[in-house]
């Protein structure tokens, strides 16, 4: 294991919570589910910044557009039937802010009613909804105000969270306020491969820090407005962020420079984000960028759980072409990511250092042929078993994804679905891949 594997070693003290002290009670049943996000599956989300970005030539692989995506806005009942049909009890999806609030302060009641129907559809099928408020997309009006770069914009999101709590609190107990603030910040403002296409690392750090604060404000708003305990487990609103936890190792173990680069990246991408979510200060720094350091009082106690999105491990090099590559000789997914299911155990162990109960909020791989996914699922769940058996507080596992969907800058090249979708004919049937039944069977064995 690389020397960056211990968050304390790489990033200083992680604030710990005494287990069981103020941790929310474990759900009555382990959450077994799948996950999607609005823009990736709904189709027709033409009032957000991604829709506009996709229209610019050269931004998305093969010139793909989200377009009708999976038509889930219309076909959500069928999608929920698929979840239920696999014997799962949880479904994570997201609210599309730009549908609900197409102009600042104007709410679309029809969109709110549709989301309500989706949530009722979950409950009617015995599915616990896990609802995300922000999964990478912004209403155009919010982006025009400067989006997440401007701290003064945060009250808009707080207001949106309040509305979500008021309208859906009776159906939802699990809230993911923000999905992967660090991925959003670095892709959109450092690599510039996502909207708004900026390449300025200092600005990326500001965006990440504002998203962390936005989580805290949204968590407070949700706890104030969601007073109904929909699951009957004693808690009405459990709030957390879904964090992309990536395993990083030096490409050349003997190279001090590779080791240094690895520990810098681990600290800023992994440790600093979770440390803040667990109530610590925001401290983001990377060479060549202005550091951000601040205390946000509202972050204290804002996370009831940590959503862990685990996909892969990368080898980090300080010099040479690619800063991150798959381990040489390792099997890779259709997107070139190392297939490393065992890594989930290590990811959970590293995350557990921050003292929050965990939900694996995303895990999966791009594999159109479904050649690797069956074995991947079995190995992943075995790693999850080991993590739980060793005492780690893991409360759910959500496979990414229920069906193929719009994979951001990779367009329709990354096929993550348990069900395949023909994007030339999204109104056609979702085609079950063999791995869907493998997952169902593995869940059955554990239930
Ligand atoms: C994101 C998903 C994405 C998945 C696979 C995660 O970082 O939350 O939206 O589809 O990874 O790339």
Mean pLDDT of the chain: 94
Cβ–Cβ under 8 Å, residues 405 and 384: no
Cα(29) to ligand 1 centroid in Å equals 26
Strands 431-432 and 419-420 turn out to be antiparallel
Q: Please provide the size of the chain in residues.
A: 447
Give pLDDT, residue 21: 45
Cα(243) to ligand 1 centroid in Å equals 11
Mean pLDDT of 273-296: 97
Give pLDDT, residue 319: 87
| Residue 1, pLDDT above cutoff 60 | no
Rounded-to-integer distance, Cα 193 and Cα 199, Å: 9
Give pLDDT, residue 24: 72
Rounded-to-integer distance, Cα 432 and Cα 193, Å: 32
| Residue 2, pLDDT above cutoff 50 | no
> Euclidean distance between the first and final Cα of the chain, in Å?
32
**CATH number of this structure's domain 28-245+341-446:** 3.20.20.80
Sequence ranges of the domains in the chain:
28-245+341-446
Question: How do residues 373-405 score in pLDDT, each as one tens digit?
Answer: 999 999 999 999 999 999 999 999 999 999 999
Give pLDDT, residue 92: 99
Higher confidence at residue 322 or residue 430?
430
Question: How do residues 149-176 score in pLDDT, each as one tens digit?
Answer: 999 999 999 999 999 999 999 999 999 9
Rounded-to-integer distance, Cα 438 and Cα 28, Å: 24
CA distances from 84 to 36, 88, 278, 332 (A): 15, 6, 33, 30
Instruction: State the pLDDT confidence band at 321, using cuts at 50, 70 and 90.
Output: confident
Alpha helix stretches (DSSP H) within 226-271: 256-265
Question: How do residues 178-215 score in pLDDT, each as one tens digit?
Answer: 999 999 999 999 999 999 999 999 999 999 999 999 99
Ligand 1: residues whose CB is within 6 Å? 37, 40, 179-180, 183, 244, 309, 362, 400, 407, 416
Cβ–Cβ under 8 Å, residues 429 and 77: no
Cα(254) to ligand 1 centroid in Å equals 32
Q: Which atom of ligand 1 is nearest to the CA of 410?
A: 12
Instruction: State the pLDDT confidence band at 90, using cuts at 50, 70 and 90.
Output: very high
């Amino acid at each position: 294991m690389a020397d960056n594997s211990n968050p304390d070693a790489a990033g200083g003290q992680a604030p710990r919570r005494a287990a069981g002290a103020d941790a929310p009670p474990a759900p009555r049943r382990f959450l077994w589910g799948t996950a999607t996000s609005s823009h990736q599956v709904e189709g027709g989300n033409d009032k957000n910044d991604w829709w506009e970005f996709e229209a610019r030539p050269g931004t998305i692989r093969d010139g793909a557009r989200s377009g009708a995506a999976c038509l889930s806005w219309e076909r959500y009942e069928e999608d929920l039937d698929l979840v239920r049909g696999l014997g799962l009890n949880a479904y994570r999806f997201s609210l599309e802010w730009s549908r609900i609030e197409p102009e600042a302060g104007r709410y679309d009641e029809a969109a709110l009613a549709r989301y309500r129907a989706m949530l009722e559809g979950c409950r009617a099928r015995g599915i616990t909804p896990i609802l995300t408020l922000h999964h990478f997309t912004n209403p155009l009006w919010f982006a025009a105000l400067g989006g997440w770069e401007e701290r003064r914009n945060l009250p808009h999101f707080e207001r949106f969270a309040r509305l979500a709590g008021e309208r859906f609190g009776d159906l939802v107990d699990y809230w993911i306020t923000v999905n992967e603030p660090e991925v959003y910040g670095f892709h959109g403002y450092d690599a510039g491969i996502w909207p708004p296409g900026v390449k300025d690392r200092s600005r990326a750090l500001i965006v990440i820090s504002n998203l962390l604060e936005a989580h805290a404000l949204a968590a407070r708003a949700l706890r104030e407005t969601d007073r109904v305990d929909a699951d009957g487990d004693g808690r009405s609103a459990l709030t957390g962020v879904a964090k992309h936890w990536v395993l990083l190792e030096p490409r050349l173990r003997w190279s001090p420079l590779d080791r240094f680069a690895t520990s810098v990246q681990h600290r800023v991408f992994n440790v600093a984000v979770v440390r803040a979510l667990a109530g610590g200060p925001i401290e983001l720094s990377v060479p060549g960028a202005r550091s951000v350091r601040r205390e946000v009082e509202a972050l204290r106690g804002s996370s009831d759980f940590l959503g862990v999105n685990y996909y892969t491990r990368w080898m980090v090099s300080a010099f040479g072409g690619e800063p991150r590559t798959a381990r040489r000789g390792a099997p890779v997914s259709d997107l070139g990511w190392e297939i490393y299911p065992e890594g989930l155990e290590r990811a959970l162990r590293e995350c557990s250092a921050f003292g929050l109960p965990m939900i694996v909020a995303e895990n999966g791989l791009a594999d159109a042929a479904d050649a690797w996914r069956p074995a991947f699922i079995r190995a992943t769940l075995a790693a999850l078993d080991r993590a739980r058996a060793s005492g780690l507080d893991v409360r759910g596992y959500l496979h990414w994804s229920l069906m193929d969907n719009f994979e951001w800058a990779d367009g329709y090249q990354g096929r993550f679905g348990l069900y395949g979708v023909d994007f030339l004919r999204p109104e056609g049937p979702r085609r079950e891949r063999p791995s869907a039944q493998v997952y169902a069977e593995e869940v059955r064995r554990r239930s």
